């Protein structure tokens, strides 16, 4: 406690001195902008825990706190920072209560969070931001999603910039006050103008959502469909049960199946629904059939974190489940409510080759007819359902034959009057491969800092009717089996990155090398570098032809600055 208090004092004093020494422009003066906005605080625990520093005015607004809106992750990060830097002591129950209150009363509306939901999902995306100056000013150190998931009063945006200058004094020379578009203009000033306009505290979306928000009615049975890079499609069921005495807590029981490798997993979990639509949960594997999953094999002990978005009509929930310890591993998940009518979640395989031998096609869903006949299923011209091999309310097994003259392209599935558009595709050849993701990033580690892995998968494509690769009529065939290896990405003479950066296994999972100096490498260099990831595929029945695809992989330094503040003591983490 004494060390934390001393550290907070040192940071606070040095921040004040450095801000004063750098002479920031007048617009960064916290007192220069007054705001009539703000939300009264009506939570006794919050007032008692934070009121010593955050003063309350006559309208019940607390300084700083009342002039912000954030996601649950944003509010938790604020509490973690207070604990780490200001010596605040909070027991887990109090911290959880404060995060829940602030997320519900000063959160984001669905329309505000939807464009940037990737940030809380910990999803790596390539995005374009409309303001280049703000992207360069803020995005040089962290994702723009950190700014986009906040709403602040004008004064609070100014104070945020001042906080950066206090905690990270070099930021002025690195970006804030360097490289302005016009003489005498600093990038941070233009960025603040943009942030105030783009992400104000008071919005129509939040006002409308606050007036309409109520307990979400999500209990019941749901159909699960998803995708995991490296393993493909996943289908299953989720049972959601309310926790007695709580309007926003639920338990879950999940059973899902990977049709490609045959593994079935069962999970049990618990969920808090923040702001009426923000699903935050954790689930643990309680049983499985077949080999251990990749995520479990990487040391996660079967626990997954769940970040999802509940749609307004309570009919669909979508998002991402990831491991937490290594958030590069995860599933994209979509839940749809199961009702009395049959619902098709998807099919496997997702493509059928024309002229091939009879193939088993599996249909996954809920309430599927168990008395199905071959004539009840239609898949378009050239695709014949020869037999119903097995039927269950959650899955059907069909034997289908595709003629050699079947047209190439997407096919609708018609099942006793229900139509599933573009449920699968028919193809006659594989024209090219695409590796996903389109570029990879891994980080060395394992000694001082954790490793960051990078999974890949190969997707086969048909060039479509025009026969040209990369045009709009191309047909996605789906995942195919490939052989993987690493190829040198030459940057310097006698470049040898491919020997040291790491290894890629038969599943397409890249494991980086260890952090620190490597005495086996010239100059005792570390194991960083960049390489080509190469995949080779030999299409069946195409005379031994081999297709090849590559993607660029950067193996970088460990992530020393972790914005989740993972070094906090467990007993004070909400």
Q: Token pair for residue 220?
A: 């019941």
- What is the pLDDT of the chain when averaged over all its residues? 87
Q: Token pair for residue 169?
A: 């004094």
Residue (of 240, 234, 218, 228) closest to 316 by Cα position? 218
Which residues in 184-247 belong to E strands, given as ranges?
A: 220-228, 232-242
Query: Could you tell me the strand order of the sheet in which 457-462 lies?
Result: 432-436, 457-462, 475-479
In this structure, are strands 547-556 and 439-443 parallel, antiparallel, or unpaired?
parallel
SS3 150: strand
Only one residue has tokens 């594989």, namely 430
pLDDT of residue 102: 97
CA angle 220, 225, 230 (to 5 degrees): 145
Mean pLDDT of 381-394: 96
Whether the upstream peptide bond of residue 451 has omega within 30° of 0, thus cis, is no
Res 1 pLDDT > 60: no
Q: How many CA atoms lie within 13 A of 456 on its CB side?
A: 32
Mean pLDDT of 123-149: 90
Q: 566 pLDDT band (50/70/90 cuts)?
A: very low
Residues 6+ away with beta carbon under 8 Å from 1: 87, 89
Q: The domain 220-337: what is its CATH number?
A: 2.40.128.120
Q: Mean pLDDT check: name the lowest of 3-12, 176-185, 473-482, 517-526.
A: 3-12
Give first-to-last CA distance, the chain, whole Å.
18
Which DSSP category does 59 fall into? Answer: T
All structural domains of the chain with their residue ranges: 2-211, 220-337, 348-427, 432-556
* Burial class (CB within 10 angstroms; exposed 0-12, middle 13-18, buried 19+) of 126: exposed
SS3 188: helix
Q: How many CA atoms lie within 13 A of 13 on its CB side?
A: 5
Max Cα-Cα span within the chain: 82
Res 430 pLDDT > 50: yes
Q: With contact defined as beta carbons under 8 Å apart, do 50 and 65 qualify?
A: yes
Residues 6+ away with beta carbon under 8 Å from 471: 463, 464
Q: The domain 432-556: what is its CATH number?
A: 2.60.40.10
Q: Token pair for residue 202?
A: 């008071």
Q: Mean pLDDT check: name the lowest of 196-205, 309-318, 325-334, 460-469.
A: 325-334
Which DSSP category does 288 fall into? Answer: E
Res 549 pLDDT > 70: yes
For 26, phi then psi, to 5°, come to -55, -30
- Alpha carbon 479 to chain centroid, angstroms: 21
Q: Token pair for residue 371?
A: 């008395």
Whether the upstream peptide bond of residue 280 has omega within 30° of 0, thus cis, is no
Q: With contact defined as beta carbons under 8 Å apart, do 479 and 349 qualify?
A: no
pLDDT of residue 562: 61
Which DSSP category does 189 fall into? Answer: H
Q: Do the domains at 348-427 and 432-556 have one common CATH topology? A: yes
Q: 424 pLDDT band (50/70/90 cuts)?
A: very high
Q: With contact defined as beta carbons under 8 Å apart, do 69 and 53 qualify?
A: no
Torsion of CA 407, 412, 415, 420, to 10 degrees: 170
For residue range 469-526, list pLDDT tens digits in order: 999 999 999 999 999 999 999 988 888 999 999 999 999 999 999 999 999 998 889 9
For residue range 30-75, list pLDDT tens digits in order: 333 334 589 999 999 999 999 999 999 999 999 999 999 999 999 9
Q: With contact defined as beta carbons under 8 Å apart, do 437 and 124 qualify?
A: yes
Q: Token pair for residue 459?
A: 């997707």
Q: Token pair for residue 505?
A: 């296994």
Mean pLDDT of 428-444: 95
For residue range 254-301, list pLDDT tens digits in order: 999 999 999 999 999 999 999 999 999 999 998 654 434 444 444 334
Work out whether the CA dihedral 63, 64, 68, 73 comes out positive or negative.
negative
pLDDT of residue 564: 52
* Domain 348-427: top CATH class: mainly beta
Q: 561 pLDDT band (50/70/90 cuts)?
A: low
For residue range 23-33, list pLDDT tens digits in order: 333 333 333 33
Q: Mean pLDDT check: name the lowest of 96-100, 201-205, 369-373, 417-421.
A: 417-421
């Amino acid at each position: 406690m004494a060390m934390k208090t001393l550290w907070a004092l040192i940071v606070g004093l040095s921040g004040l001195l450095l801000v004063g020494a750098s002479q920031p422009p007048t617009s960064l003066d916290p007192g220069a902008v007054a705001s009539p906005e703000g939300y009264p605080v009506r939570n006794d625990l919050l007032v008692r825990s934070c009121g010593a520093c955050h003063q309350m005015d006559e309208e019940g607004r607390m300084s700083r706190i009342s002039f912000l809106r954030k996601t649950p992750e944003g509010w938790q990060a604020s509490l973690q920072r207070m604990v780490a830097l200001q010596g605040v002591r909070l027991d887990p129950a109090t911290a959880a209560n404060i995060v829940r209150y602030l997320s519900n009363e000063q959160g984001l509306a669905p329309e505000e969070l939807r464009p940037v939901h990737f940030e809380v999902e910990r999803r790596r995306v390539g995005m374009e931001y409309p303001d280049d100056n703000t992207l360069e000013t803020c995005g040089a150190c962290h994702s723009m999603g950190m700014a986009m998931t906040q709403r602040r009063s004008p004064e609070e945006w100014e104070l945020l910039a001042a906080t950066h200058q206090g905690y990270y004094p070099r930021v002025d020379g690195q970006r804030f006050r360097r490289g302005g578009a016009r003489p005498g203009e600093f990038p941070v000033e233009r960025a603040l103008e943009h942030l105030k306009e783009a992400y104000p505290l008071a919005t129509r979306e939040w006002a409308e959502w606050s007036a309409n928000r109520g307990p979400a009615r999500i209990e019941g049975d749901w159909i699960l469909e998803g995708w995991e890079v490296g393993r493909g499609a996943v289908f299953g069921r989720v049972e959601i049960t309310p926790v007695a005495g709580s309007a926003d807590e639920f338990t879950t029981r999940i059973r899902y199946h990977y049709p490609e490798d045959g593994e079935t997993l069962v999970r049990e979990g618990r969920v808090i629904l923040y702001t009426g639509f923000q699903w935050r949960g954790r689930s643990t594997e309680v049983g499985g059939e077949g080999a251990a999953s990749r995520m479990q094999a990487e040391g996660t002990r079967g626990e997954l974190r769940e970040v999802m978005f509940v749609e307004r009509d309570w009919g669909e929930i979508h998002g991402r489940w990831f491991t937490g310890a290594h958030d590069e591993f995860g599933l994209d998940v979509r839940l749809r409510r199961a009702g009395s009518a049959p619902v098709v979640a998807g099919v496997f395989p997702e493509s059928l080759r024309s002229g091939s031998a009879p193939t088993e096609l599996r249909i996954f869903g809920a309430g599927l007819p168990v008395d199905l006949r071959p004539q009840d299923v239609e898949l378009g011209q050239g695709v014949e359902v020869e037999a119903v091999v097995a039927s269950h309310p959650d899955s059907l097994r069909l034997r289908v034959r595709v003629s050699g003259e079947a047209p190439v392209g997407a096919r609708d599935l018609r099942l006793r009057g229900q139509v599933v558009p573009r449920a699968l595709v028919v193809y006659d050849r594989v024209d090219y491969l695409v590796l996903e993701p389109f570029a990879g990033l891994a980080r060395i580690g394992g000694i001082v800092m954790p490793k960051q892995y990078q999974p890949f998968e190969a997707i086969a494509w048909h060039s479509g009717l025009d026969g040209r690769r990369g045009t709009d009529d191309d047909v996605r065939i789906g995942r195919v089996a490939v052989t993987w290896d690493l190829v040198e990405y030459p940057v310097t003479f006698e470049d040898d990155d491919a020997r040291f950066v790491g290894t890629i296994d038969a599943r397409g999972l890249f494991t980086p090398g260890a952090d620190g100096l490597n005495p086996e490498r010239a100059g005792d260099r570390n194991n960083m570098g960049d390489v080509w990831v190469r995949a080779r595929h030999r299409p069946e029945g195409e005379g031994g032809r081999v297709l090849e695809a590559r993607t660029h992989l950067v193996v970088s330094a460990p992530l020393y600055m972790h914005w989740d503040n993972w070094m906090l003591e467990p007993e004070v983490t909400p």
